[in-house]
Structure 1
């Protein structure tokens, strides 16, 4: 893949052999975000876990103190009072059974996160095949299957992100935008790292965080010194 002049210039400032401290890494990522749009700053954590073992699967959610900089559209499956609560909390879409054909047949996906009350999971379960592959299936561990729809919607709107291992045992999450200040990105990053450290599987032998890379949407990756923040 051929990179543009700006990318090459930005990449030249980053030493691939160096493991940077958080502050330096964030500074470099911000400097190398030279696209014409406000790039997302992403964190990629390669773990020593083996997701094939149930006790080493990592999944959860954390509210970033400064949000992600992205406005998130929320769909809530609920009925009665809970549906009213979801609407009042700011959910863009609220409904039940009637949304199934819209999603299944009309390929309607104008939402970023799905929340459901436990009594609606029977209905939502029928969408497993379409929501699952897109990572949109509500999950109790991520706080998206809950009776407290007000908190769920408020947290998501405030900047809650989900993290989980992919097939290569890597966690990929956004931690903000390139327009954020260095302090905001550092606080978001630290909040994420603390959350990941808390869910370290007790059965894991060997190193937990093998590598951590920060990058912007179009920019080069910057490797961090994991010994500073993995426990």
Structure 2
């Protein structure tokens, strides 16, 4: 399936467009009588999207009590740490829209008392029992090296099969310990929305659209079952042919 590339002038207009599209998609799903399932990501542009969603008057078109939230990856630190994707998402989005706490599915932190591998399996078990089978919308960022979630180039985690989650103990970006969904799990999404902003992401975005190894550029390894969209600002899309 080909990707839909949508390039916006700058980070702010990009965040606005993604926020509007997300609200419209969730509203449509709820109109069908279903509970939308969203996979969140972290990063600067994701935070901007979260703030735009939380501040949008159109957000009233969505019953936020009836949306399930998950994460594609998380840093394995204390659950109250500012390093966590979930902490940022709560601050900028989930607390603002007063999402149902029972529908917010965070990955465990070190204060869970679980070893890293057990924490990863714990999240997989929750995803199996409460995840509903697939994401309606899955957000993914992309690193300058082409990594997605916490699946880094050359890592064994990229090639993990037969599992929903994988413990990552050697992330090249601190902190070293993380939990990530596997490529198999990430591909259980109706729509995959990549979001990228800034010139520092341009080469990785271009590489993700070129033929080659998934282990070299993990972003090549995820597509939506019905839709794959690359939401970019002009700088992030500048190296595309």
**TM-score clears 0.5:** no
TM-score scaled to structure 2, two decimals? 0.31
Q: Which has the higher contact order (CA 8 A, sep 6+)?
A: 1
Compute the TM-score of the two structures, normalised by the length of structure 1.
0.32
Bigger Cα Rg: 1
